[in-house]
Structure 1
Amino acid sequence: MKSLSLIAAVAALLVCVAVAPVAAFNTFTITLGPRQENCFNEHLQAHERLDLSYEVAEGGSLDIDFVIYSPNSRPLYNLNGESFATFGFNAEVEGTYVYCFSNKMSASSEKKLSFTVHGPDEKWKIEEKEMKESIDDPTDNLQSEMRILDSGIKAIRDEHAFLTARERRHRATADSTNTRVLYWSLVQALALIGVCFFQITYLKRFFEMRGGRLV
């Protein structure tokens, strides 16, 4: 009986790994051109929770404007010129909530950003965990475990994608800084060589002129 349970658990894990790429993957990447805004909708029931995080990966000063609206078009939360942020809330009323990323402040820079959304789809994770102790049917129990594992894998993948985008942005910033330091060092070296050459030439001519007058 224990061996059957072990085989069932392994099968559940394999099924979850196979299903994970097909399941809803809540990390997205978008590109915003100059003066452009992109909005997304999320329908929530009352008291349902929505969590969102974003990171600007490329473009300009790595800044973006963010705002989320309630169903009555009232701004619930807004940020101006931030590179990354995390926000979560519980819906007060049922309706369509709209969140927007805006690059309207930029006249020439294109921005690329990644964002991760965890909406009502994740709610069943907690519900299944609370229900599984009261389930007597082994098939239902196995299905419950599979859904919990699938949710865990999806959450890990979402977090990994977000951290990867953030690491890529920081690496690009570090590379850009190192390149600027290198170019500035070369400019300083060339300026120093030029000043030395000018001083040597000037002093040489100065002493030649003084020597000629003495003669």
Structure 2
Amino acid sequence: MQRSIVLLSVLALLCGVQAFSTTIDATREECFIEEGRTGQPMGLMFTVTQGGFLDIDVQIKAPDGRVVYSAERQHDGKYNFIAHTDGPYNFCFGNRMSTLTPKQVSVVVVADEADRPPQPANDKAAAPEDLSPLAETIKNFADTVKEILEEQEYMKMRERAHRNTNDSTNARVVWWSFFEVAVLVTMSLGQIYYLRKFFETKRPM
């Protein structure tokens, strides 16, 4: 059992899955950097879990300034790409459309270390044809674990967003119920007051 846990932990590290939550203040843009190498599979998953209309601007910039991906006012999304050059890739989230409300965003950045390009061959490096079936099996297992981890993180983000929406809706329903009760009580007291005034007899002086 312990060996299985250790193996899964190592594979998760090889998959390079990073998950975190961040708050983007109004009129601001925040960028996060992930190192990439030419030919390396990379990806981004995100969900706006709280704030305003639950929308955010997203942009991925390559080290050479090229815009790999760009979208505006997105609630959530998932985008995979292959790094075309070495260097830091910027994953940016913009909340410039909002003047008052900050946005909370759950983010998953994937930089697949398991599929990185092979290093230049040397005397000690094993040729691809020398790889054992066990190594191929481990690689396939790592790919499967990567897909599972990505899907789990994405489902967690979706569940968090839905939970926040439900909590917000429930809070509004509760406050609306209190408002209705207050209106009914006020109307009842007003009717009682006017009825008493209507049937009240004035005493002669």
Q: Runs of 5+ in structure 2 lacking a partner?
A: 117-127
- Contact 1:68–1:77 (CA<8 Å) still a contact in 2? yes
- Pairs within 5 Å for 1:57-136: 57-90=49-82, 93-96=84-87, 97-121=89-113, 123=115
The one-letter code matched in structure 2 to 1:32 is T
The one-letter amino acid of 1:202's match is Y
| Deviations 1:45-86 (CA, angstroms, capped at 9, x unpaired) | 26x543322112233433221112345424343222222112
* Residue 177 (str. 1) matches residue 169 (str. 2): yes
Does residue 155 (structure 1) correspond to residue 147 (structure 2)? The answer is yes
CA 1:186/1:81 → structure 2, altered by over 3 Å: closer, same or farther? Answer: same
- TM-score, scaled to structure 2: 0.73
Specify whether residues 168 and 32 from structure 1 end up closer, same or farther in structure 2 by C-alpha distance, changes over 3 A only.
closer
Matched, 1:16 2:7: yes
2:20 corresponds to 1:37: no
Give 1:144's match in structure 2, choosing from 136, 152, 159: 136
**Secondary structure in 1 aligned to 2:191?**
helix
Aligned mates of 2:9, 2:114 — CA distance in 1? 19
Aligned to 1:4: none
Distance (Å, rounded) in 1 between the aligned partners of 2:144 and 2:7 = 10
SS across alignment from 1:16:
helix
3-state SS of paired residue (1:20)? helix
Gaps of 5+ in 1: 1-9, 125-133
Distance in 2 separating the partners of 1:17 and 1:54: 24
Identity value in percent: 30
Return closer, same or farther for 1:83/1:18 CA change in 2, 3 Å cut-off.
Answer: closer
TM-score (norm 1): 0.70
Q: Given the superposition, is the C-alpha separation of residues 71 and 63 from structure 1 closer, same or farther in structure 2, using an over 3 Å criterion? A: same
* Correspondence 1:26 to 2:21: no
Q: Residues 66 and 79 of structure 1 are in contact (CA less than 8 Å); yes or no, is this contact kept in structure 2?
A: yes
Larger Rg: 1
Partners of 1:67 and 1:77 within 8 A in 2? yes
Q: Give the C-alpha shift of residue 207 in structure 1.
A: 2.5
Matched positions, count: 190
Question: Hey, what's the Cα distance between the residues in 1 that align with 2:130 and 2:81?
Answer: 35
Q: Deviations over 1:17-57 (max 9, x none)?
A: 352354444132142342242232443426x5433221122
Q: Which amino acid aligns with 2:189?
A: F
Q: Which amino acid aligns with 2:78?
A: T
Spell out structure 1 runs of 4+ moving beyond 4 A.
12-15, 134-137
String of CA shifts for 1:115-148, please: whole Å, max 9, x gaps: 2234453546xxxxxxxxx9677xx211221122
Which one is further off, 17-26 or 63-72? 17-26
CA RMSD of aligned residues (A): 3.3
Moved more, 101-110 or 191-200: 101-110
